[in-house]
Amino acid sequence: MSAPDPIETARTLVAGGRGILAADESTGTITKRFQAVGIDSTADTRRAYRELLLTAPGVSEFISGAILYDETIRQTASDGTPFPDMIKERGIIPGIKVDTGAKVLAKAPDEKVTEGLDGLRERITEYVEMGARFAKWRAVITIGEGIPSDYCIHTNAHALARYAALCQEGGLAPIVEPEALIDGDHTIEQCFEATERTLRAVFAELAIQRVSLEGMVLKPNMVIAGKQCPKQASVQEVAEQTIRCLRFTVPAAVPGVAFLSGGQTPQQATAHLDATSRMGPHPWQITFSYARALQDAAMRSWKGDRSRVGTAQQAFYARAQLVSLARRGSYTAEMEEAA
């Protein structure tokens, strides 16, 4: 068997009006989200929930790839099929989160650096054998008084590039995710500045570390005011500033930009993606790699109840369809009522 080709994978992930489902919450994170809607978090409820999402009838029309967590990629669906095989059979490319989380950055107590490089080459080999074809690494950039520091941006960019190079060497297409957080009272201008500095540093490191831009997908935040900022920007302004920032910083050789939803409501994340797509043509495919915005309604309607699997799958299908329409610039707010 020849090694999988990251360029081919990256292209497929962002093609055809489809996007990526992030279902790679760490056990701690999914437990918090389950608890918020009254679901017990056990290995089996986590498995059942992720199976529900990935077997939702027809959803591969909208979803090209799914990012899994280490626990999930080792689990089997209820019919005994290993998760990665089950996904592949449904026309969805299996991906894997390979970072081990954001930790406090030494001597910068308000900032974080993402860990997970130790043993990564060997883990990549194992994941490729299990069927994974792409990976994710999320760097966290906090915006606030005097931050992000150059120190935080630089250390995270360096780690992202080390991860990306190792992925491509091993046959995985890396999703490079530097996320400037929406938490805080910062303005959209501050978000623009932090995102621009971060993306410039990330692409400089990717170049130094010989990462093929054609064999990766960028997963950035949108340029948006902080959640607590009294002055919220319009949908159109978010789209304009986001595209402006990306045009300054993201080489045209990158096949696709797949946004994260980052704590926006499902409706906001869909409307912003739509407005961004409508500003095209763009040098890259514009698509999505959402966790919360895609899963919110499904998780709430499932509630851990076996008899509600079908209802939850319909909710997931409906949101995936809207987000896919938005990715093509064909979404309208009226569609929310019909969904």
Binding segment for ligand 13P (CB under 6 A), chosen from 118-126, 238-246, 255-263, 331-339, is: 255-263
Question: And the tokens for 11?
Answer: 């292209």
Q: Smallest distance from the beta carbon of 116 to ligand 13P, in angstroms?
A: 13
Catalytic residue among 97, 112, 136, 219: 219
Beta carbons within 8 Å of 8's beta carbon, 6+ residues apart? none
Residue with Cβ nearer ligand 13P (235 or 252): 235
Q: Smallest distance from the beta carbon of 19 to ligand 13P, in angstroms?
A: 11
List the one residue from 153, 188, 260, 275 that touches ligand 13P (CB under 6 A): 260
Percent of the chain that is helix, strand, coil (3-state, to 5): 50, 15, 35
CB 81 within 8 A of CB 38: no
Binding segment for ligand 13P (CB under 6 A), chosen from 196-204, 260-268, 272-280, 329-337, is: 260-268
d(CA 10, CA 65): 10
If phi > 0 it is left, if psi is from -120 to 50 it is alpha, else beta; for residue 183 that is: beta
List the one residue from 21, 22, 102, 223 that touches ligand 13P (CB under 6 A): 22
Q: Is 219 a catalytic residue?
A: yes
Q: Which of 95, 64, 90, 65 is nearest to 77 (CA)?
A: 90
Residue with Cβ nearer ligand 13P (9 or 270): 270
DSSP 3-state of 186: coil
Q: Binding marks (x or -) toward ligand 13P, 128..147, rule CB under 6 A?
A: ----------x---------
DSSP assignment letter at 177: E
Catalytic residue among 111, 177, 179, 205: 177
Residue with Cβ nearer ligand 13P (134 or 290): 290
Q: Smallest distance from the beta carbon of 174 to ligand 13P, in angstroms?
A: 13
DSSP 3-state of 66: strand
CB 104 within 8 A of CB 112: yes
Residue with Cβ nearer ligand 13P (19 or 208): 19
Residues 280-309 that bind ligand 13P (CB under 6 A): 290-293
CB 197 within 8 A of CB 233: no
Residues 144, 150, 156, 157, CA torsion sign? positive
List the one residue from 190, 195, 261, 313 that touches ligand 13P (CB under 6 A): 261
Which residues is 173 bridged to in the sheet?
134
Q: What angle do CA 217, 218, 222 make, to 5 degrees?
A: 145
Q: Is 97 a catalytic residue?
A: no
Q: Smallest distance from the beta carbon of 324 to ligand 13P, in angstroms?
A: 15
Rg (CA), the chain: 19
Q: Does 224 contact ligand 13P by CB under 6 A?
A: no
Residues 174-193 that bind ligand 13P (CB under 6 A): 177
Q: Smallest distance from the beta carbon of 177 to ligand 13P, in angstroms?
A: 6
Q: What are phi and psi of 271, to 5 degrees?
A: -65, -40
Task: Give residues in contact with ligand 13P (CB under 6 A).
Answer: 22, 138, 177, 260-262, 290-293
Catalytic site positions: 177, 219
